[in-house]
Structure 1
Amino acid sequence: MAGAVHIPWYATGFRGDKLEAAVTEFAAVSLRYGATAYSVYRGRDDRYKILQVVEFENKADWEAYWNGPEAIRFRTTSSSWYQVPVVYAWQDVVSKGAMTPLAEDDAA
């Protein structure tokens, strides 16, 4: 069953911007492992709070991404930029929707 993994990152003092950039780069790598989508969110009330969401068709692809060499390198090089433990959660996707903007030709 398709799922979305929520990974809550929490930056250490004054490292929110560095962590945001690193997580954004790391999230894009998920597409090479079969992810269908990814998002990175940063809190407005708490600028140290970053949420990475990655969607996969199956959990095996997620595990390959999370345990792959890019993930190990990311966690090693940025380990002082976030608080541990990082506890991710696999969520089954049970419903999904989106709005798509109209093209200019369709709006007329």
Structure 2
Amino acid sequence: MAGTVVVPWYATGFRGDAFEVALNEVAATALRYGASSYAVYRARDDRYKFQQLASFTEHVDWERYWDGPEMIYFRARHSSWYQVPVLYGWWDLTAAGAVAPEPVTSGNGGGNGIATGESA
């Protein structure tokens, strides 16, 4: 059954920025294991707090990712960069919504950036 895994990470002192770069890189590899999407969020009120999300159709694909060579290397290489334990959870989506942005329209082709009827 499809779900999203949420992994809460907490970086250790003075490692937040470097941890962000490393986590962003390894999070993207989830797509190789069948994830339909991934995201990494960093808290604004606590710059050491991160949330990694990855959506999978099958839980076994998540397990392949978490136990795959990229994540094993990441956890070993950066083991002093985050606090343990790391307790992830499998979540089901119960509601969602979004606002679609307005489509971008072309100008008048004059190259001056002024649309017909506008003045500078």
Specify if TM > 0.5: yes
Residue 75 of structure 1 pairs with residue 75 of structure 2: yes
For the aligned residue pairs, the C-alpha RMSD in angstroms reads 1.4
Secondary structure of 1:104's counterpart equals coil
Residue in 2 that maps onto 1:44: 44
Measured against aligned partners, the alpha-carbon deviations of 1:42-68 in whole angstroms (never above 9, x if no partner) come to 011100001101111110100000000
Residue in 1 that maps onto 2:53: 53
Q: Rg bigger for which structure?
A: 2
Higher deviation after alignment, 91-100 or 48-57: 91-100
Residue 88 of structure 1 pairs with residue 113 of structure 2: no
Residue in 1 that maps onto 2:110: none
> What is the letter of the counterpart of residue 68 of structure 2?
G
- Structure number with higher helix proportion: 1
Secondary structure of 1:40's counterpart equals strand
Residue in 1 that maps onto 2:34: 34
Distance 1:56 1:100 in 2: 24
Residue in 1 that maps onto 2:101: 101
**Relative contact order, higher structure (CA 8 A, sep 6+):** 1
Taking every aligned residue pair, what percent have the same amino acid on both sides?
A: 58
- TM-score of the pair, normalised by structure 2: 0.83
> What is the letter of the counterpart of residue 19 of structure 1?
F
Secondary structure of 1:17's counterpart equals helix
Distance 1:68 1:92 in 2: 23
- Count residues with an aligned counterpart: 106
Distance 1:99 1:64 in 2: 34
- TM-score of the pair, normalised by structure 1: 0.92
Distance 2:96 2:56 in 1: 14
Report the alpha carbon displacement of residue 25 of structure 1 after superposing the two structures with TM.
0.5
Unaligned runs of 5+ in 1: none
Residue 24 of structure 1 pairs with residue 30 of structure 2: no
Unaligned runs of 5+ in 2: 106-120
